[in-house]
Amino acid sequence: MGGFMMSPAEYPDRIWFNPPKFWAATKDMRPEAATELLDRIIDLAEAQDLEELRNFDFVSFGNPWRKVA
């Protein structure tokens, strides 16, 4: 059994999606519009467009395993 295990300190910062905040933000949208928004968020995350993703309060960044001093 081989493989590479990274320690928690070595994990890159991640993009976190908060479903309850997304549902709250899209509750008055048409289902198609909410789907389009979710597709846009996924595209931005895949492209690592952090500046644009910061505009959405249901997206956050960081490594939950990294201790903050």
Q: Nearest-5° angle of CA 35, CA 48, CA 52?
A: 65
Give a yes or no: residue 33 inside a domain. yes
Instruction: Provide the pLDDT for residue 65.
Output: 63
- Is position 6 within any domain? no
Is residue 68, in this structure, part of any structural domain at all?
Answer: no
Q: Per the domain annotation, does 69 fall within a domain?
A: no
> 49 in a domain, yes or no?
yes
Structural domain for 49, as ranges: 14-62
Q: Given a cut of 80, is residue 12 above it in pLDDT?
A: no
In a domain, 32, yes or no: yes
More confident residue, 66 or 20: 20
Q: How many domains does the chain have?
A: 1
Residue 9 lies in a domain: no
**Is 36 a domain residue?**
yes
Q: Is the pLDDT of residue 26 over 70?
A: yes
> How many CA atoms lie within 13 Å of 11's alpha carbon, on the beta-carbon side?
13
